[in-house]
Amino acid sequence: MKLLPLALAAVFAAIMPLAAQPARAPALSPNEIVAAASPGDWTAIATDDLLVMTLAPDRDGNRRQVTIQLMPPPFSQGWVGNIRKLAAAHWWDGLAITRVQDNYVVQWGDPDAEDKAKAKTLPAGLRVMGDEEYTTKGLGMALPMDAVEIDRDPYAETTFLESGWPVASIKESGWPVHCYGMVGVGRGYSPDAGSGAELYTVIGHAPRHLDRNIALVGRVVEGIEHLSSLPRGTGPLSFYEKPEQRVPIVSIRLASELPEAEQPRFEYLSTESDSFARYADARANRRDPFFIAPAGGADICNIPVPVRRIAAK
Amino acid sequence: MKLLPLALAAVFAAIMPLAAQPARAPALSPNEIVAAASPGDWTAIATDDLLVMTLAPDRDGNRRQVTIQLMPPPFSQGWVGNIRKLAAAHWWDGLAITRVQDNYVVQWGDPDAEDKAKAKTLPAGLRVMGDEEYTTKGLGMALPMDAVEIDRDPYAETTFLESGWPVASIKESGWPVHCYGMVGVGRGYSPDAGSGAELYTVIGHAPRHLDRNIALVGRVVEGIEHLSSLPRGTGPLSFYEKPEQRVPIVSIRLASELPEAEQPRFEYLSTESDSFARYADARANRRDPFFIAPAGGADICNIPVPVRRIAAK
């Protein structure tokens, strides 16, 4: 991904209003840049890479569905494979959201996982992963880092992969980053690296200290408000204290397993596109009318990759 | 504030277990360091600097109270003065939470503020502030920046003021930063810089692009879950579409105006203390047993200043 060097960005800012709008039109906001992107700048997400979690309706009877995009290679594929098996086995059906910690995570899985007598049996053939797989070596992480917007990350070097995912790297090693909405694999103490049966998503400020310490396997692309607005747990680590506080999971399915008319379809703004480069630049340097002092930078989690729903086939 | 240089931090890590615990005890987590801090490391927050917002009970009849610490000089004191006047006039009583945007903000004030015929009259004597007051010059921002943990911020230089607040600076200018839980002043287009009657708090990843573009006037020190777990609005900018969706504000009071027995009391871990330095270092370099790869850094919003409630007088 090549973010625009600032000089080029300035050219865009100068040219675009003349080409597309009356002279002296205000600069576009990041959302306006995304809305104006051409259809060719968007890339479809395969339904085989989408996980649809249906929760029990809320107390007013409203439907609650959360859609997660699974992470592509080269990261976390052992866990992603396990998650595909767990979904195919309908393993999560009837389990629950068990933990909601403010400014941190929402977690779901088997409430009885710690109790050998009551824990739900996992499907056969799950892979056992090691923590060395939290990072990927030899990724060719000499990725373009010419964007002043994200070149002062406190944790590592950061950029976007061609596949549209935010990543960090140090030297030869690369890993996905814990931004809002990212989905990861709960685990106990090392060397337990988790199977993928216990999952969580981030609902607060990016807990980047979890990078390289937990496997990230995807991101929520729709419906995160059904998780982030849940009542916070009051037990240790903000687990729900009483079983009736847990939110029942009706089902988790790969979208490709649903009847075709029910398969949600999404696309993301290609991180290789000029539109994305302009969007990222505008996130770092807001010139739309509300703003007085453009920031002159942005951290990678403050440049969320735009994803939108498209009509069903 | 002096964060420990890393070499000194390593000495602490080596010495502390020997002094305080059996040899080979695991390194303390950030929370354990805070719990072990001596009473002298904590600084009381004056009740005159606390704002208590009481919301209508939730639908199960549970009490909902949010406590906000107002920002001390040198920042935003014009708006803070207005907020003290608004609270003294009981101006917010009967108004409402009007907007909840996922991964962004919760906002409250007068739902009819935009309608001159219906807008609630503001108390006399509010100051009109200019946007030049979003930053403070000549702050002596040659503050110690010797912590590798926070010396690679994508937006500016960052550190903690002696008063216990996270700040950023560029050259001679300094300003408070938009971390989770910070409270700011809603406004329209510049030069309207807002009166302080419309307030919001951050409930997602730090929107640092708002720094220097909006006045920050405080931070939530208790009860943010009553805001962050509210249903998200579905109107433009995530305002609630229907009046009945809004959450009524029963009252907002300076804590010092409440009967003494009802005054909440809080203290924060002095950012000048060695305990805070160890805590910040541990946030950036987790050595407690769960962690495999210490991050080697942290952004300032990932080092929240510890605040705790203490017994009433």
On chain A, the residues whose CB falls within 8 A of the CB of B180 are 103, 204-205
Distance (Å) from the alpha carbon of B262 to chain A's nearest alpha carbon: 23
Which residues have C-beta within 8 Å of that of residue B223, sequence separation ≥ 6? B53, B64, B65, B66, B67
On chain B, the residues whose CB falls within 8 A of the CB of A155 are 295-299
Instruction: Determine the distance from the C-alpha atom of residue B182 to the mean position of all C-alpha atoms in its chain, rounded to a whole number.
Output: 3
**Integer Rg of chain B from CA:** 21
SS3 B232: coil
In this predicted model, what pLDDT tens digit does every residue of B18-68 receive, in sequence order? Answer: 344 445 678 999 999 999 999 999 999 999 999 999 999 999 999 999 999
| Dihedral, CA of residue A274, residue A278, residue A284 and residue A290, to nearest 10 | -160
Give the containing element (helix H, strand E) for B170: strand B166-170
Report CB contact under 8 Å: A154, B155.
Answer: no
Distance (Å) from the alpha carbon of B152 to chain A's nearest alpha carbon: 5
- What is d(CA B24, CA A290) in angstroms, rounded to the nearest whole number? 55
- pLDDT > 70: percent of chain B: 88
Distance (Å) from the alpha carbon of A266 to chain B's nearest alpha carbon: 20
Q: Which amino acid is at A63?
A: R
Q: Please give the pLDDT value at position A171.
A: 82
On chain A, the residues whose CB falls within 8 A of the CB of B228 are 102-103, 228-229, 232
Report CB contact under 8 Å: B205, A204.
Answer: yes
The total of other beta-carbon atoms located within 10 Å of residue B137's CB is 11
Q: How many residues does chain A have?
A: 313
The total of other beta-carbon atoms located within 10 Å of residue B312's CB is 10
Pairing of strands A136-137, A105-109: unpaired
On chain A, the residues whose CB falls within 8 A of the CB of B154 are 149-153, 297-299
Distance (Å) from the alpha carbon of B279 to chain A's nearest alpha carbon: 14
Which residue, among A167, A139, A149, has the nearest Cα to A71 in the 3D structure?
Answer: A167
Find tokens 């998503």 and name the residue: A201
Residue B109 backbone class (left: φ over 0; alpha: ψ -120 to 50; beta: rest)? left
On the question of pLDDT at B1 being above 60, the answer is no
Distance (Å) from the alpha carbon of B278 to chain A's nearest alpha carbon: 16
For the residues B154-181, what does the mean pLDDT come to? 91
Q: What is the pLDDT along chain A (313 residues), one digit of tens a residue?
A: 333 333 333 333 333 333 344 456 789 999 999 999 999 999 999 999 999 999 999 999 999 999 999 999 999 999 999 999 999 999 999 999 999 999 999 999 999 999 999 999 999 999 999 999 999 987 755 454 444 346 789 999 888 988 999 999 888 889 999 999 999 999 999 889 999 999 999 999 999 999 999 999 999 999 999 999 999 999 999 999 999 999 999 999 999 999 999 999 999 999 999 999 999 999 999 999 999 999 999 999 999 999 999 997 6
On the question of pLDDT at B119 being above 60, the answer is yes
On chain A, the residues whose CB falls within 8 A of the CB of B301 are 205
Which residue, among B268, B299, B281, has the nearest Cα to B206 in the 3D structure?
Answer: B299
Report CB contact under 8 Å: B131, A292.
Answer: yes
Report CB contact under 8 Å: B102, A228.
Answer: yes
Name the residue among A150, A228, A299 with its Cβ closest to that of B299: A299
SS3 B112: coil
Q: What is the pTM of this model?
A: 0.92
- What is d(CA A105, CA A201) in angstroms, rounded to the nearest whole number? 5
For the residues B247-258, what does the mean pLDDT come to? 98
Report CB contact under 8 Å: A154, B228.
Answer: no
Q: For testing the chain A interface, which of B209, B210, B245, B286 should be mutated: the one with the most A CBs within 10 Å? A: B209
SS3 B55: strand
Q: Phi and psi for A108 in degrees, rounded to 5?
A: -140, 160
Which alpha helices (H) appear in chain B, and where do they start and end? 6-20, 30-36, 77-88, 225-228, 274-284
Which residues have C-beta within 8 Å of that of residue A258, sequence separation ≥ 6? A52
DSSP string, chain A: --PPPHHHHHHHHHHHHHHHSSTTPPPPPHHHHHHHS-GGGEEEPPGGGEEEEEEPP-TT---EEEEEEEPPTTSSHHHHHHHHHHHHTTTTTT-EEEEE-TTSEEEEE-TTTT-TTTPPPPPTTPPPP-GGGGSEE----------GGGS--SSSEEEE-TTS-EEEEETTEEEE---TTEEEE---STT----SSSEEEE-SS--GGGTTTS-EEEEEEE-THHHHTSPPP-SGGGB-SSGGGSEEEEEEEEGGGS-GGG--EEEEE-TTSHHHHHHHHHHHS--STT-SS--S---GGGSPPPEEEE---
Name the residue among A102, A231, A286 with its Cβ closest to that of B224: A102
On chain A, the residues whose CB falls within 8 A of the CB of B293 are 134-135, 211-213
Which alpha helices (H) appear in B195-298, and where do they start and end? 225-228, 274-284
Q: What is the DSSP letter of B188?
A: -
Q: Please give the pLDDT value at position B125.
A: 96
Q: For testing the chain B interface, which of A6, A64, A103, A203 should be mutated: the one with the most B CBs within 10 Å? A: A103
Q: How confident is the model at residue B150 (pLDDT cuts 50, 70, 90)?
A: low
Report CB contact under 8 Å: A229, B224.
Answer: no
Average pLDDT, chain B: 89
* Residues facing A55 on adjacent strands: A64, A249
- What is d(CA B16, CA B21) in angstroms, rounded to the nearest whole number? 8
What Å distances lie between residue B105 and A38, A283, B224, B249, CA to CA?
A: 30, 17, 11, 17
**Residue B49 in contact with residue B84, Cβ under 8 Å?**
no
Which residue, among B108, B86, B117, B266, has the nearest Cα to B183 in the 3D structure?
Answer: B108
Report CB contact under 8 Å: A206, B204.
Answer: no
CB pairs under 8 A between A and B: 145
- pLDDT > 90: percent of chain B: 78
Which residue, among B302, B265, B277, B268, has the nearest Cα to B47 in the 3D structure?
Answer: B265
Find tokens 């009007």 and name the residue: B98
Distance (Å) from the alpha carbon of B225 to chain A's nearest alpha carbon: 6
Reported as half-sphere exposure (CB side, CA atoms, 13 A), residue A10 has a value of 4
Q: Please give the pLDDT value at position B140.
A: 57
Strand order across the B166-170 sheet? B136-137, B173-176, B166-170, B157-160
On chain B, the residues whose CB falls within 8 A of the CB of A208 are 295, 298-299, 302
Give the containing element (helix H, strand E) for B216: strand B216-222
Q: For testing the chain A interface, which of B205, B247, B300, B307 should be mutated: the one with the most A CBs within 10 Å? A: B205
On chain B, the residues whose CB falls within 8 A of the CB of A153 are 152, 154
Report CB contact under 8 Å: B229, A289.
Answer: no
Give the containing element (helix H, strand E) for B183: strand B182-185
In this predicted model, what pLDDT tens digit does every residue of B201-234 receive, in sequence order? Answer: 999 999 999 999 999 999 999 999 999 999 999 9
Nearest CA in chain B to A232: B225
Q: Please give the pLDDT value at position A96.
A: 98
| Dihedral, CA of residue B200, residue B204, residue B209 and residue B213, to nearest 10 | 10
